A = this chain, B = another copy of it.
Amino acid sequence: MFTLYYAPDTCALATMIAFKDAGLAAGDGYALRRVDFKRLEQRSPEYLAVNPKGRVPALVTPRGILTETPAMLAFLAQSFPQANLAPLDDPFAFADLQAFNSFLCSSLHIAHAHRMRAHRWVDEANTAAIKAMQDKVPDSVGACYDLIETGMLKGPWVMGETYTIADPYLFTIAQWLEQDGVDPARIPRIVDHRARMAARANVKAALAEENA
């Protein structure tokens, strides 16, 4: 049994989808624990004891606690090999997949975070600088999507013919692209991928749990 600490509209959704893709069921294979950002619960002593980073997601496993979405997704793929969520026996293909997920966390998600979390990288009282950082988001997020659109997204799924853990991760972040000021018409392949993901039963069920 796993327990996932999550909050709605965060990258925790990727792991919530991956649970289902791995064949786990809510209440049986995993439990969800919502962290209330409005009450700043992520900074509470109780939560910091779970994840000293004060962020979601955090995955409680029988062996210990994992953080960082790329690591958690690969953990699920390796723990449930029968679900075929990653090319586990091919170091190059696995690295290619990991490179995609690493780009999502360290480039695309970071560019996005400058809209809502600019205070991580500037004095929170400096409203002019925060505004300037927010103004750059459509460009910086858009540039990341351009790289995905024009090459990294192999199609029909992120890594090609086979659905992998990269798919729920891209889907999760791509939910925010309009709010980030990116014109969907600029990235039709990503928008098509998002629509096909949204039609999947596991994604619908995870979104329902996220907003429950």
Residues of chain A whose beta carbon lies under 8 Å from any beta carbon of chain B: 52-53, 61, 63-64, 66-72, 74-75, 78-79, 91-92, 94-96, 98-99, 102-103, 105-107, 109-111, 114, 120-123, 126, 128-129, 132-133, 135-136, 140, 147, 150-151
Contact = CB atoms under 8 A, between A and B. Distances in A.
Nearest to A118: B121
Counted per complex, copies of this chain come to: 2
Interface majority SS (helix, strand, loop, mixed), chain A: helix
A71 B92 contact: no
Contacts of A72: 95, 99
A74 B70 CA distance: 12
B99 A123 contact: no
A71 B99 contact: yes
A92 B75 contact: yes
A92 B151 contact: no
A68 B74 CA distance: 16
Contacts of A106: 68, 102, 105-106, 109-110
